[in-house]
Structure formats: C-alpha cells, structure tokens
Amino acid sequence: MSSREAPHLRLTLDSRLVYRYRNAMPLSADDIRRAFVALSEELERRNARAELVVVGGAALVLLFRARESTKDVDAYFVVSDASLLRQAAGAVADRLDLPIDWLNDGAKGYLVGVTTGENLYNSPTLKVHAASIAQLLAMKLAAWRDAVDRSDAKLLLERMDGGADDVWSAVKSFVPPHQLDKASYAFEDLWEMLHGHS
C-alpha cells in the first residue's frame, strides 16, 4: 500500500468506528431529555409540531429509571408527516452525536392501538407521553425475550392494581392476537412469582 492510500484508509476506518460507536452508544434518561429539547428546537426551526408516544425501554428509563440506559427511543409518531420528524431527529443526532436512529418508530408494528400515559416532555412544538402502564406491560409480555423484558414486566405489573383477572383483562387488549398465548403464559408465570397462585 502506498503512503497516499493510507490516509484514505485511516479516514474510512475512523468513519466506521465512529458509526459503530454512535450506533452502540447507550442513552441515559438525561441524554433522552436533552434530545427532546433539541428536537423541540429543531421542529421550531422547521415551523413544525409533533407528538410522540414512547414505548419500550426508553419509557421504563424515563418513568422509573428502571435501568441506567437504553439503546434507542421507540415511539409512535402522532404526526401527519413522519418523514419531517425523522429529518428533524436526524439533525438532532448529528448535533448531539447520538445514534442516527436514536428516535424511531420501529415498534409501531407491535402496537395494538395507542394509549397515552404520563407526560414526559412538553413544549409548544413537541409533546411526549409514555404509553399507559397496561400497554407497556402488554408489549413486554408479548416480547418476553430475556431477563430485561422479565425485569421490566415485573416492575410494570407491580404498578397495576387489582387481581390477576382484572389486570390481565386490562392488558390483553393491547397484545397482538398472534402473541396472546405467549403473553398469557408469561403473565401467569410473572403473577405467580409476585403473588403466588391466582
């Protein structure tokens, strides 16, 4: 390799390392709140408004500090022009050195309806809510992949009132039909762990 090629190679490798680092970078609650402020400012510059309903790990981090960080913010975009919101989020990623997909709507395919729970951020250009506790729990039960899902589901179940039948009734309407059996078994196991036999 010639000495002329080496700088180009270094630049390519550096770019790849930066890309990998940014896309693997965990987001703390404070990181996410800063990103919401920057997103609000970016929307104002574009003369636009948006509303988000946050689900998944980001909701748990923001609501309960259930863990230190999450890899992204899964949200339902309550906007008529989702592409504009994606562009604004991309500008925020560049500005704050966040993963390019720090805000995404990849979870929308797992939502059965959309609920709004606690307010997480509010400005004239951006309103952010968490989904309801029941919907967050439904999504965790339907996923039920690993210890993180189980820990999150336990935390959410502890915040719901009522007996097993009442809680399952509140949750099951948010579970995709093809995942009802899986979620039901997960719920029964979790309930038994917390409360004994129902």
Q: How many CB atoms lie within 10 A of CB 112?
A: 16
Distance of alpha carbon 102 from alpha carbon 74, whole angstroms: 8
Could you tell me if residue 164 is inside a domain? yes
Kindly state whether residues 53 and 38 are assigned to the same domain: yes
Running DSSP on this structure, what letter comes out for residue 131? Answer: P
Residues of the chain with pLDDT under 50: 1-22
Instruction: Report yes or no on 10 lying in a domain.
Output: no
Do both 29 and 65 map to the same domain? yes
Does 48 share its domain with 69? yes
Q: Which of 131, 152, 180 is the last residue of a domain?
A: 131
Q: Are residues 102 and 55 in the same domain?
A: yes
Sequence letter at residue 109: G
| pLDDT at residue 60 in the model | 95
Per-residue pLDDT at 64: 93
Same domain, 153 and 109: no
Q: Which residues are bridge partners to 74 per DSSP?
A: 55, 104
**CA distances (Å), origin 60, targets 45, 165, 195:** 30, 24, 22
pLDDT at 81: 86
Q: Identify whether residues 81 and 117 lie together within a single domain.
A: yes
The reply to whether 33 and 124 lie within a common domain is yes
Domain range for 161 is 135-195
Q: Are residues 171 and 84 in the same domain?
A: no
Overall number of domains in the chain:
2
| Pair 180, 83 in one domain | no
Q: For 146-149, which contacts have Cβ atoms below 8 Å and span 24 or more sequence positions?
A: 148/57, 148/67
Residue 46 domain-assigned (yes or no) = yes
Does residue 8 form part of some domain?
no
What per-residue confidence (pLDDT) applies to 196?
81
Domain boundary among 108, 131, 154: 131
pLDDT on residue 61: 95
Sequence-distant (6+) residues with CB within 8 A of 176 are 110, 112, 142
Same domain, 35 and 108: yes
Give the DSSP H/E element, type plus range, for residue 54.
Answer: strand 50-55
